[in-house]
A and B are shown apart, each in its own frame.
Chain A
């Protein structure tokens, strides 16, 4: 991967898309081979590597008992991002959750809960995004803002690896595809 590059991972169910992303973010140890970040093995980089990546998994990682704003502030706080009120509002507006700031996440729909999680992408400044089935449960406008978030990220020199069945149809021409077979 080079700055600004985008890789779409496709493949049948069970072909290992999720495993690949989990290996890339360091949650899973590969049985052979190694993952290098700027020439160094991510195992030896440890937390330094985590400052560079944002992983978005199958499960949205949203706490039911916390409100939309609290979920976002905690996620930002844990990643070491100082979040101003204005920035929080902007991020939530971006993902279409304006007006739902103080609603507990358990009262949100599945798509909205994923949007809460996606708001992380709008505030983070990491260089590599690893997104697993990011479009699940999202409506058309949801897909559109994910696309625009990724396009902005790539334009800023970021990288993204996305496992998805749907085509993201990015306007930039740098997209590569990786088809996994069982």
Chain B
């Protein structure tokens, strides 16, 4: 496609290969979990349903309850308030303010975020749970309502590494993926000519090479976009905003946030009535054509209160809108740019595109399905690339071992992800802490996969065992969900919980596909020729594709 000298091509191929293999294992994990995270809302609704279906956007007729609960919150913790949905369509009402810590004259106390989180059943308008405490406690309570989805999202966003380090790691992985896409494009001389050619009838290395190259070629534009936008999300708040705060705002991060995101300053602390939430939601729906799914407000119960209703993208659009209302009268004030600034700008137009391009959630289930397919292809490209690299060096002991590690991650990670719901459901049934239960299931599956990957006679045998086990694990998930108190299909049908039925069917389909791949998947030419693919260290190379 692009004519480069042989030497230049070799250099770019080395950059492509080494950048991929060094961080490829972690990158594969980020891509796999990101693919699943596309359906995080649906996973939350499937794994933790209420007795009625989750609504599209914020539920109706909530004003009376929201105001009743809001009035119970200490005015000191009403600086910010949020209204949003969580797993199963649960309505979450959150208030936050600042709590001054004890200190003395020499060491003044620090201020920490402190508040109250209400968990509400929108079908019955009953209070399910109330949590009061520091921000971390509120976060934990919120996560418990959407534990399974949150697990995968957190694994994707920061590999469960605490901020900001986790964001740095995933940011770097995004940069590496971008470089791999660019260098892959540059080194592939016959991009168009080879677009439809996968030589599954040739030797294993050629098959591996074609599998990787063709998948990569087809999904190249999206691989670049997903890597670029993913990197942006990781670095924007962990590196970008602090840099801007330091340079432009003299280190004042709060001022930087206020300037970039346009937070309204406090002006009038006089107590005032609170606007009708139902009316605000109805107005925002009429004004934008979509029902709001998030409300963020400031200074609840004060004369300077405002609330901002975030609406999803209308059909055909990529971004939603965020009209701002008086928090006292509910009067529409102005249309605020959805991400940054107080008025429309080129910066907001570009920055606001990052979310739909990365999450693929701008057109409901249709765009999510396409993004899922693209994510799957991306994971396939990453895995086949690592397999190709290790297979090419299979005569070296160290790379043989690395090949087993690639098998562990490549075929073991789907197994660990399939086993995590077992932890979620068991934890909920037995009353265990959900995070611990999920990590236990995930960790045990990872350990089992490692034993299989390292101990199996051949790498292909390890692959087959792991794929088969994943298949059985997926088939078992709906049974465990039902056995631990989840609704059966009849009950789900009558309650309108279609996501529960759909989720179970998708699990079962995934299980059948995995078992089909195990049973009927093509072996490698090396295996069919009866070559002894031995454990690492023996002289015979092991080649899988």
A and B are interacting partners: no
- Which residues of B are in contact with A by a Cβ distance under 8 Å? none
